[in-house]
Chain A
Amino acid sequence: MTSRELFALAAVGLPALVAATIALVPRRFVVAVAVAVAVPVSVPSIALSAWILHAPAKPSMSRWLVVDAPGGLLLAVIAVVGLASAFASRAYLAGVPAPRREKTYFATLYAFWAILLAVPLVGNLAGAWLLVEATTAASALLVGFSGRPRALEAGWKYLILTSLGLGVALLGIVLLAAGTPGGGLGALSWHALGSYSAGADRALVAYLLLLAGLAAKIGWAPVHNWLPDAHSEAPPPVSALLSAALLPAVLLIAWRSEHALAPVVGARTAQTVLISFGLVSLAVAVPFLWRALPWKRLLAYSSLEHMGVIALGIGFATPLALAGVAVHIAAHAVAKALGFYAATPLIGHEPRAAEHAVTGVARTAPVLGAAMGISLGALSGLPPSPLFVSEVLIVAGGFEAGRAWAAAAAVLLLALGFLGLAHNLLETTAGAARDDRADAGGLRGLAVLTAVSVLLLLGLVLAAVWLPGTDLVAGLL
């Protein structure tokens, strides 16, 4: 076993071990232990990610394991968001009325985290499908964790719609296996998919089924119906993992599939499918970004927008666009996770925020308002947000790729989305404030997360300027 394989095993095995053994910890220590072990659990993933991104031109690939630049990027994102979610869970559980469920919560959260960490590392389309399906089971339980009727509704929709979507994706995978020499599992490794030999038309049908199925899990329009419900009803640390880690992790599978099948179905055709999903997702998201929605639902529709932007970048597939994609995935994760973590004290501050839009939070809780403002400002693409720079890179990449119409449509939709979110940013932070709000608790932890997020976002602005033309971008191609 190589050292990279050992690190990969540790990255996935440690959170799985915690999930399996957390039940043995005495109940009164569960939260403290689960939060404390999150740091050592995330170390192998972050170390492996740093290793990969330090030498992105040397990917390694086997039937089961792939260690490359896109995987390294996602691994870092999932590790950091998982770590932050474990920390943020303490504040969430402190406010949960039903006691004695900490063990269930953390066992499921760590299982979900372990499966997520395995997704970018798996070297096989069938293995990736199995892992993505397994994330559905673990995360659906977390979405319905509160047991409230709305949470049950969201969890049920999520479970049924994504399982059905993944069934369609599996049909595409079976078709690919049928046309690839050798058949079976070996035929579905990422490097073997390019040897599909049953004709471009059949490959295109399989690719469309695969992407249509994965779209239901990524939350691309028009099969995104579960997304706003699940994101808004899940516990906030879980919403952060769903939006910042799960969606891009599944998107990576779509990206790898496009990359592997482009020689068979034609690069232009394969990329056009992604661009179409991207533009439709942006177009569907924009009207909702203009509305006064409950905080977490607004963030959910922003996820729809950003998954669309990432699809566009992957579809444009130029070095500029892919540099934008890398920054966009990381910056979206930081900003979105911060927004969801702010939801826990927000609901303590104003309970009706779970179901209604809130205004003027900065007037009554400045720290909370700052966290929400920084999150929404970054997500809207307000300069100097790294998401502004990444969107510029992606659009420039679109023009560079000769996709002027798609890039122009993206500019228009992004501008409209920005205006909607900017309006919401002003209203949420500086609008009229209600005078019946409670004191916001748990703000010390949020202040630390906000400070760390600001540093990460500023670092990503610098990265966005430095990234184009580097080996890392070459490793993404």
Chain B
Amino acid sequence: MSGALAWTLVGLGLAVIVVRRRSIAVALVTGQALVLVGVALNDATTRNDVLAAGALALRAVTLAALFFVLVARTRELRPVRARVSPLMRAGAAVALALALTWLVPKIGLSSRDAERSVLTLVAFGVASVALRRATIFQVLGIVLVENALALAALELPGGASLAIELGVALDLMLVALVAAAFHERIFAEFGAGDTAALRTLRD
């Protein structure tokens, strides 16, 4: 994988941490997944590789459709503001990514760029879940992590397994569907998809 492609994926991930609008974040995550589809098709040498890329594309399109419908059905009167400013979020996410890439030794992917990109995107996903209050941004954090793992699977020396790609895509869509159901219920109950309302259970 080229360095430019790795930077593109990382840049799209960082933008998800920073942007305010949910629809833009959905577009960014979808764009990232489609870049991965391009990488998969470019590297495909067998019929199974092409099918695995197809599974990735299906996942990207289905999730994009689901999230755009969800955003349209649950219009926020005011955007849910994260408690942490965009600059601070970006700083925290980059710091976490640097820590991860420093801590984790070589992991055996086809290039060091790919390894760093995978770890950075995992860090960005975790940061999105931890630092964003809006429910959709938390789910997008999980999709970011799954995109990182799809990249890792593509950069394995032996290539990705079709069965695993299909299974992971199916599971992620299942989890996203359940998250969508929860988001709608939370929106109906509290008037916003804001996890700040979900802080009553404490000991």
The reply on A336 being an interface residue by CB < 8 A is no
Measured in the bound complex, the distance between the Cα atoms of B169 and A134 in whole Å is 12
Residue among A127, A160, A183 facing the most chain B CB atoms (10 A cut-off): A160
Are A163 and B203 in contact (CB-based, < 8 A)? no
Are A153 and B200 in contact (CB-based, < 8 A)? yes
Measured in the bound complex, the distance between the Cα atoms of B186 and A232 in whole Å is 19
Closest to A225 in B: B201
The reply on B34 being an interface residue by CB < 8 A is no
Are B161 and A167 in contact (CB-based, < 8 A)? no
Are A160 and B142 in contact (CB-based, < 8 A)? yes
Q: A163-B142, A167-B122, A171-B118 are in contact. Are A133 and B108 (CB under 8 A)?
A: no
In the assembled complex, the CB of A174 is this many whole angstroms from the nearest CB of chain B, namely 4
CB contacts (< 8 Å) of A202 on chain B: these are: 105-108
Closest to A233 in B: B201
Are A174 and B106 in contact (CB-based, < 8 A)? no
The reply on B168 being an interface residue by CB < 8 A is yes
Are A167 and B142 in contact (CB-based, < 8 A)? yes
Measured in the bound complex, the distance between the Cα atoms of B135 and A150 in whole Å is 16
For A142-183 the 0/1 string (1 means CB < 8 A from B) is 001001011011111101100110011011001101110011
Interface hit among B21-29, B70-78, B146-154: B146-154
Are B178 and A126 in contact (CB-based, < 8 A)? no
Are B178 and A178 in contact (CB-based, < 8 A)? no
Are A140 and B146 in contact (CB-based, < 8 A)? no
Closest to B164 in A: A126
What does DSSP make chain A's interface, helix, strand, loop or mixed? Answer: helix
Are A291 and B107 in contact (CB-based, < 8 A)? no
In the assembled complex, the CB of B177 is this many whole angstroms from the nearest CB of chain A, namely 7
Are A185 and B198 in contact (CB-based, < 8 A)? no
Chain B, interface size category, equals 35 or more
Are B149 and A228 in contact (CB-based, < 8 A)? no
Are A167 and B106 in contact (CB-based, < 8 A)? no
The reply on A23 being an interface residue by CB < 8 A is no
CB contacts (< 8 Å) of B3 on chain A: these are: none
For B112-143 the 0/1 string (1 means CB < 8 A from A) is 00000010001001100100000100110110
Contact among A137, A150, A201 with B200 in the assembled complex (CB-CB below 8 Å): A150
Q: Name A235-287 residues within 8 Å CB distance of B.
A: none
Measured in the bound complex, the distance between the Cα atoms of B190 and A246 in whole Å is 30
In the assembled complex, the CB of B36 is this many whole angstroms from the nearest CB of chain A, namely 14
Residue among B138, B153, B164 facing the most chain A CB atoms (10 A cut-off): B164
Closest to A133 in B: B171
The reply on B101 being an interface residue by CB < 8 A is no
The reply on A384 being an interface residue by CB < 8 A is no
Contact among B118, B167, B185 with A152 in the assembled complex (CB-CB below 8 Å): B185
The reply on A136 being an interface residue by CB < 8 A is yes
CB contacts (< 8 Å) of A153 on chain B: these are: 197-201
Closest to A141 in B: B178
Closest to B160 in A: A184
CB contacts (< 8 Å) of B87 on chain A: these are: none
The reply on A293 being an interface residue by CB < 8 A is yes
Are A288 and B203 in contact (CB-based, < 8 A)? yes
In the assembled complex, the CB of A41 is this many whole angstroms from the nearest CB of chain B, namely 22
Are A183 and B159 in contact (CB-based, < 8 A)? yes
CB contacts (< 8 Å) of B185 on chain A: these are: 144, 147, 152
The reply on A229 being an interface residue by CB < 8 A is yes
Measured in the bound complex, the distance between the Cα atoms of B47 and A213 in whole Å is 32
In the assembled complex, the CB of B166 is this many whole angstroms from the nearest CB of chain A, namely 10
CB contacts (< 8 Å) of A156 on chain B: these are: 135, 182, 186, 195, 198
Total cross-chain contacts (CB, 8 A): 140
CB contacts (< 8 Å) of B181 on chain A: these are: 141
Q: A156-B186, A159-B175, A159-B179 are in contact. Are A164 and B129 (CB under 8 A)?
A: yes
Are A136 and B175 in contact (CB-based, < 8 A)? yes
Measured in the bound complex, the distance between the Cα atoms of B201 and A157 in whole Å is 10
In the assembled complex, the CB of A103 is this many whole angstroms from the nearest CB of chain B, namely 16
Are B178 and A137 in contact (CB-based, < 8 A)? yes
CB contacts (< 8 Å) of A147 on chain B: these are: 185, 189
The reply on A328 being an interface residue by CB < 8 A is no
Measured in the bound complex, the distance between the Cα atoms of B198 and A156 in whole Å is 9
Contact among B135, B149, B159 with A174 in the assembled complex (CB-CB below 8 Å): B149
Contact among B118, B138, B164 with A160 in the assembled complex (CB-CB below 8 Å): B138
Q: Name B80-113 residues within 8 Å CB distance of A.
A: 104-109
Measured in the bound complex, the distance between the Cα atoms of B172 and A86 in whole Å is 28
Contact among A127, A160, A184, A205 with B158 in the assembled complex (CB-CB below 8 Å): A184
Contact among A137, A205, A233 with B174 in the assembled complex (CB-CB below 8 Å): A137
Pull 25 A–B residue pairs with CB atoms less than 8 Å apart, ordered by A: A126-B161, A133-B171, A134-B174, A136-B175, A137-B174, A140-B182, A147-B185, A157-B198, A160-B138, A167-B149, A168-B122, A170-B146, A170-B168, A171-B118, A171-B122, A175-B152, A177-B158, A177-B161, A178-B108, A178-B152, A178-B158, A184-B161, A187-B158, A201-B105, A228-B201
A-side residues, CB < 8 A to B, are: 126-127, 130, 133-134, 136-137, 140-141, 144, 147, 149-150, 152-157, 159-160, 163-164, 167-168, 170-171, 174-175, 177-179, 182-185, 187, 198, 201-202, 205-206, 228-229, 232-233, 288, 291, 293, 297
Which 8 interchain pairs have the tightest Cβ spacing? A183-B158, A167-B145, A178-B108, A153-B198, A184-B161, A130-B167, A133-B171, A137-B174
